[in-house]
């Protein structure tokens, strides 16, 4: 399941430092792999403590295999990108291809790191990128409005009329300098009509506040300014210190990294928190398979049913789906394995309409 989060931000906000930390994320979760597909795309292991526990219980011959998420490092944006300034057109095209946005904001003072606009102001930085994306979205919306008006008048196209209603709402918001994601649509029909528009400012977003070491735990005034600025958006704010994260990534052992984190008052590295948050931002969930051969995490979209999840493993599993045997992770761990869960009546038999839950341990029966 190839879904991507794109890292965006102005030049010199710590975006590339953060991406480089993510590229060493294997160090945060044993020896799980990281690889580069293209120069700016990384396949990042999703940390999952449940896998460690299942590995200890099952002693799998082929080991433990985590799930992954793709992170894309997108070139820094400058004012005028919507009109082609800098790498504007490429930047916007790269964002359009991603499924969610990780927006890095500089929230630290350092006279040795030059800011592209001369001073540190994360809210202004956010607004610069927002404005460029909004202008591009406004172009898209205006163009689609003309097409929908023609279709609605000429052929009485009901979907065109519905989409036109949505487009008008988006145009109003974008014209006021608001992101498309701030628009509250009235019903599921409008939501379905909106999906076809692929607006840049309608993508789910997470704001990453890159702070100095002293603010890594508590945040700072810059972070509070960001929180206030995005309070009306359906967006998450995550605080981390990219400089510290780069130092953690260089440490050899898990024990050293944990000691480092404890010294600065953190329970978990910012990189781990970011990867997990990015996974959730994409509305991704994990089901598990556990046995003596291997323990493995599998990615599925929130709301998928048992046959669809079976298809994540192999298309034949979905095509010939009969039923799924499901054990809750908590029961598996508490009772000590599959056999004990069967004996205790904790193994459920589920059919085609079962909505798979995060952490379900699944075994699929199929016939093709």
* The token pair that represents 213 in the structure block: 């070491």
| Distance of alpha carbon 227 from alpha carbon 209, whole angstroms | 10
- Helix ranges (H only) for 103-211 are 122-155, 158-175, 188-195
Beta-sheet pairing, 4-8 with 68-73? parallel
| pLDDT tens series, the chain, 368 aa | 567 888 888 877 888 888 888 765 443 333 344 444 444 788 888 889 999 999 999 999 999 999 988 888 876 665 654 455 444 456 677 788 888 999 999 999 888 776 666 788 999 999 998 998 899 899 889 999 988 888 777 766 788 888 888 999 999 999 999 999 888 888 888 888 788 788 989 999 999 999 998 898 889 999 999 999 998 887 889 999 988 888 887 887 778 888 888 888 888 888 888 888 888 888 899 999 999 999 999 999 999 999 999 999 999 999 999 999 999 999 999 999 999 999 999 999 999 999 999 999 999 999 97
What pTM did the predictor assign? 0.81
The 10 Å Cβ neighbour count of residue 146 is 10
Are 305 and 350 in contact by the 8 Å Cβ rule? The answer is no
Instruction: Report CA-CA distances (Å) from 135 to 72, 84, 165.
Output: 23, 12, 20
């Amino acid at each position: 399941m190839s879904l991507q989060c794109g890292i965006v931000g102005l030049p010199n906000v710590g975006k590339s430092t953060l991406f480089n930390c993510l590229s060493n994320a294997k160090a945060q979760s044993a020896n799980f792999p990281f690889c580069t597909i293209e120069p700016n795309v990384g396949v990042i292991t999703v940390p999952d403590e449940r896998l460690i526990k299942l590995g200890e219980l099952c002693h799998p011959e082929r080991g433990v295999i985590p799930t992954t998420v793709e992170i894309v490092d997108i070139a820094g944006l400058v004012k005028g990108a919507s009109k082609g300034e800098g790498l504007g057109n490429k930047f916007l095209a790269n964002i359009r291809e991603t499924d969610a946005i990780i927006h890095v904001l500089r929230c630290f003072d350092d006279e040795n790191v030059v800011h592209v606009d001369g001073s540190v102001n994360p809210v202004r930085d956010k607004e610069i990128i927002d404005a460029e994306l909004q202008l591009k979205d406004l172009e898209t919306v205006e163009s689609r409005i003309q097409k929908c008006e023609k279709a609605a008048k000429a052929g009485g196209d009901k979907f065109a009329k519905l989409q036109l209603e949505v487009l008008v709402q988006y145009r109003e918001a974008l014209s006021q300098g608001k992101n498309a994601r701030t628009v509250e649509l009235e019903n599921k029909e409008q939501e379905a009509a909106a999906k076809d528009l692929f607006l840049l400012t309608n993508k789910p977003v997470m704001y990453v506040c890159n702070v100095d070491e002293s603010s890594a735990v508590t945040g700072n005034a810059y972070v509070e300014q960001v929180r206030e600025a995005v309070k009306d958006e359906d967006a998450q704010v995550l605080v981390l210190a990219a400089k510290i994260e780069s130092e953690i990534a260089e440490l050899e052992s898990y024990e050293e990294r944990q000691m480092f984190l404890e010294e600065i008052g953190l329970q978990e590295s910012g990189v781990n928190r970011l990867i997990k948050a990015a996974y959730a931002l994409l509305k991704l969930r994990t089901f598990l398979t556990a046995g003596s051969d291997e323990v493995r995490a599998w990615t599925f979209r929130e709301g998928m049913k048992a046959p669809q999840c079976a298809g994540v493993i192999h298309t034949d599993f979905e095509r010939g789906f009969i039923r799924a045997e499901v054990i809750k992770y908590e029961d598996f761990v508490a009772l000590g394995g599959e056999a004990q869960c069967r004996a205790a009546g904790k193994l459920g038999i589920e059919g085609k309409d079962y909505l798979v839950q995060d952490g379900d341990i699944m075994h699929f029966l199929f016939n093709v």
